[in-house]
Amino acid sequence: MRHWSYFVEAPLYCVAHKTKYSAITLFLQFILIFPDMCYYICMIFCPKILKSGTLLFTFFVACICMSASSAVAFDIVVLQDAQTEAYNNAYDGFLQTGVESHANGSIKSIRTDLVTRIVLRQNDFHDIESRINALRPDLIVAIGEQSLSAAEQFSTIPVVSLLALNSSQSLARHPNISGISMHIPASQQLADLIELIPAVKRIGIIYDPAKSRSIIDEATLFAEARGITLVTEQVRSAREVSRTLSGMAGKIDAFWMLPDTTVITTQTIDAIFLFSFQQRVPVLTFADKFIAQGAVVAVTLDLKAIGMQAGEMARSVLAGNVSGRGFQEPVRKSKVRFNDLVAQKMYLRVNTAQLKSRSLSRRTR
């Protein structure tokens, strides 16, 4: 609490943020911050009040209740790469978790009306430092790669990062940064596939070991536990993909498209879906856009859920519960899209009970 300066800054702060801050509230805050001074003032000017214990007790309880309801909120700045649907969904999810959090015994709380959003596309990148220094936030939320880069210069302000592919590198260098990983566990993706299409027992994967080795290792553990066979092939360039795909004909029941930039190019995508239709092999993918091109199952990030998860992390950071260098949480919730139209054309036997039990986004035309 800022004591005397508080009573000067609080009204100006609330005017700047277009929030109400009444004289009564300031008076009650004064009583809570300086109880001894208020006692002596009452002794001098209103001694009879002190003789009425009931009145004093009632007044004190009222002060606590009213002050708690008008607590000063945490100042939070949200940096956002651009005004796109993806980033906006994450931002909306973050705002949804704007509930009270009492950190280190203070009466501050998170309030959505005191969150300042700065979209980098609309502002000079070099002006961000002066703007944030002027706002003096308790926390920065960085949505996207550029936002995370901009937030790295504030070493004394806690930062929560989301929707940044290379966040692990920033987290390793800056102990004040925490974040949400964009990686959906391989076990979760494969489980969604085989639960929707139980006939899948052999899954084909083409990958560059320099880029996707960790995903393959993770998937191998899941496959061994579930009795699934992974038919894996390594490539070092996109030119090898088409020939490698042809060698998988008749050997796989589904193809898993990884976010591997060696394997996934404009040319190879066409080859993958041509192979899929010719062989009636469903494709499991990582992006919604491939559903329109013929993928049967897409396991993607639930952007609003990630925003909500970031909000929960923000509360933990502000309460001092997140410790350690480069703390990163895995994604808790993903979104599944299913392509009914392609599944019907491939005569796939789909677990309809699983479709009904889950909240899936389905493409039917």
State pLDDT tens for residues 129-165. 889 999 999 999 999 989 999 999 999 999 999 998 7
Question: What per-residue confidence (pLDDT) applies to 101?
Answer: 42
Q: Is the pLDDT of residue 55 over 60?
A: no
Residues facing 233 on adjacent strands: 206
Question: What per-residue confidence (pLDDT) applies to 39?
Answer: 57
Q: Where in the chain is the domain with CATH 3.40.50.2300?
A: 74-182+305-329, 186-301+334-363
Question: What per-residue confidence (pLDDT) applies to 106?
Answer: 46
Q: At what angle do helices 23-33 and 35-45 cross, to 10 degrees?
A: 100
Which pLDDT band holds residue 20 (cuts at 50, 70, 90)?
Answer: very low
Which pLDDT band holds residue 49 (cuts at 50, 70, 90)?
Answer: low
Residues facing 179 on adjacent strands: 161, 328
Question: What number is the average pLDDT over the span 33-42?
Answer: 59
- Residue 85, both tokens: 């649907």
Apex 52 CA angle, 46 and 56, nearest 5: 80
- Cα-flanking dihedrals φ and ψ of residue 362, to 5°? -115, 135
Is the model more confident about 333 or about 252?
252
Does the domain spanning 186-301+334-363 belong to CATH 3.40.50.2300?
Answer: yes
Apex 25 CA angle, 20 and 29, nearest 5: 130
Question: What per-residue confidence (pLDDT) applies to 96?
Answer: 87
Question: What number is the average pLDDT over the span 268-286?
Answer: 96
Question: What per-residue confidence (pLDDT) applies to 98?
Answer: 64
Q: Which CATH fold topology does 74-182+305-329 show? A: Rossmann fold (3.40.50)
pTM of the shown model: 0.66
Which pLDDT band holds residue 318 (cuts at 50, 70, 90)?
Answer: confident
- Residue 344, both tokens: 């019907």
Cβ burial of 134 (10 Å; 0-12, 13-18, 19+) is: exposed
Is the model more confident about 171 or about 326?
171
Please tell me the distance from the alpha carbon of residue 31 to that of residue 36, in angstroms, as a whole number: 9
